[in-house]
Amino acid sequence: MSNKINAEYLIIGSGEVIKNGAVVFEGTKVTYAGESEHAPNADNVKTAVTVMPGMWDCHTHFTGIKSPSLESTVFVNPLEAVIRTTWDVKEMLLSGFTSTREVGGMGIYLNRAISDGIILGPRIYGAGKILSITGGHADIHNLNLDALDVLNHVSGNQLGELVDGVPECYRGVRKQLRSGAEVIKYCASGGVLSEIDHPIHQQFSDEEQKAIVEEASRAQVAVAAHCHGAPGIEAAIKAGVTTIEHGSYLNAELADSMVENGTILVATRYAIEKLFVGAEKMGVPTYAMDKLRGLYDQHREAVKIAIKKGVTIAMGTDMFTTGPDGIFRYGDNALELEYLVDMGMSPSEAIVAATKHSAMTIGKKGVYTGVLEKDFDADLLVLNSNPLNDIKILQNRENITNIVKQGIFVK
Ligand SMILES: [Zn+2]
């Protein structure tokens, strides 16, 4: 059965808007997107104010942990954790997010249940475990290493995989690909929530980073590099990563280098804002709060520079807790678009970040998704108003009349 939706505003996802447009889809693919007067007929016809591509959040973690601490990921019962995440994926889809790139967590497994139709959720492109050096951002620093090893063996939910040296980097990538990873994630600098490392310091040598990218590229899989500090960002760009996550200490020179190399920035302002306001109440340790305060303003300036310099920016929140009462709340993902507008984007640019540019973060796997064009995935939102006038419209799911994922009306 074919479907047609006529819209006053058809937002393609690449920045183009067609007035009095129509999108036609059959099966899982778009068969026509353009002016409504040239659109073919369809079995089912609807009209709307706006039609746009389904949104993406390209930095999520489905962990099932309730408090924002890295330790919880090894102590949580993995069965309970995975059950809890079913709430997160459903909320995300019903708020207009039809796809997500999950950069560490249980997404690979959730995606299998979602694509079988067992649970509702977005299409998840998962990374499996995050590759980190010993003592790096995805290590749990207050645990004895042998104890961590045991926990990693008994828990199916650990977030990180510790690899050191080029051969282990190859093996780390191969292990994630073996589990079904569709993107690879590693930490090129220290982090905020990890205890003893520093966000400015580079993690992994240049050779190790190149090995990770080289191995992923052989399987045509994109690579995401967590990095805050300039040395890590520089090394990751040189290694040929697809995306830089966070980019807190990005400067004008590095922004130019990202433009030159086609490296994408995933800013994750949402997590920084939410942690800044609410983390202390949630028991986030002093060492993490100090690091967070240190980069709160710095990160905002870095994203502004990236926007001004024309770096390709994709939309990602870095949500990593579960449920309705945590510091983050799946379903609120569209708040990041407001932060992007706040930092200098137009509403149209923020929508491109959450559609076309987000699909680019998974490299070759994202070629036929993210925008409304013929032969692309039929992932779209039907809206009762126009988010180009006010980006906050996307935060209220009452404005989303219908959600279509892979050609199926899920709302
Ligand atoms: Zn993250």
pTM value?
0.97
How far, in Å, from the CA of 375 to the mean position of ligand 1? Answer: 32
Can you give the residue ranges of every domain in the chain? 2-54+370-409, 55-366
Out of 185, 274, 309, 405, pick the active-site residue.
Answer: 185
pLDDT per residue as tens digits for the range 223-233: 999 999 999 99
pLDDT per residue as tens digits for the range 126-161: 999 999 999 999 998 988 999 888 887 777 667 899
DSSP 3-state of 346: coil
For CA atoms 116, 122, 123, 124, the dihedral sign is: negative
Q: Assign a CATH topology to domain 2-54+370-409.
A: Urease, subunit C; domain 1 (2.30.40)
How far, in Å, from the CA of 30 to the mean position of ligand 1? Answer: 32
> Can 325 be counted among the known catalytic residues?
no
Q: Span 267-286, mean pLDDT?
A: 88
Q: Span 74-90, mean pLDDT?
A: 93
Written as one letter, the residue type at 130 is I
For CA atoms 193, 166, 234, 125, the dihedral sign is: negative
According to DSSP, residue 388 is labeled T
> Can 304 be counted among the known catalytic residues?
no
How far, in Å, from the CA of 45 to the mean position of ligand 1? Answer: 41
pLDDT per residue as tens digits for the range 162-180: 999 999 999 999 999 999 9
CATH architecture of 55-366: Alpha-Beta Barrel (3.20)
How far, in Å, from the CA of 386 to the mean position of ligand 1? Answer: 31
**Token pair listed for 360:** 């680019």
Q: Span 205-221, mean pLDDT?
A: 98
C-beta of residue 47 within 8 angstroms of C-beta of residue 4: no
Kindly give, in sequence order, each residue whose CB lies less than 8 Å from that of residue 53, ignoring residues fewer than 6 positions away. 11, 12, 13, 355, 356, 370, 371, 372, 379, 380, 381
C-beta of residue 55 within 8 angstroms of C-beta of residue 355: yes
How far, in Å, from the CA of 103 to the mean position of ligand 1? Answer: 6
Out of 57, 139, 318, 379, pick the active-site residue.
Answer: 318
HEC readout, 130-152: EEECCCCCCCCCCCCHHHHHHHH
Q: How many residues belong to the chain? A: 411
pLDDT per residue as tens digits for the range 319-363: 999 999 989 999 999 999 999 999 999 999 999 999 999 999 999
Written as one letter, the residue type at 156 is G
How far, in Å, from the CA of 37 to the mean position of ligand 1? Answer: 45
Q: What mean pLDDT, rounded, does the chain reach?
A: 95
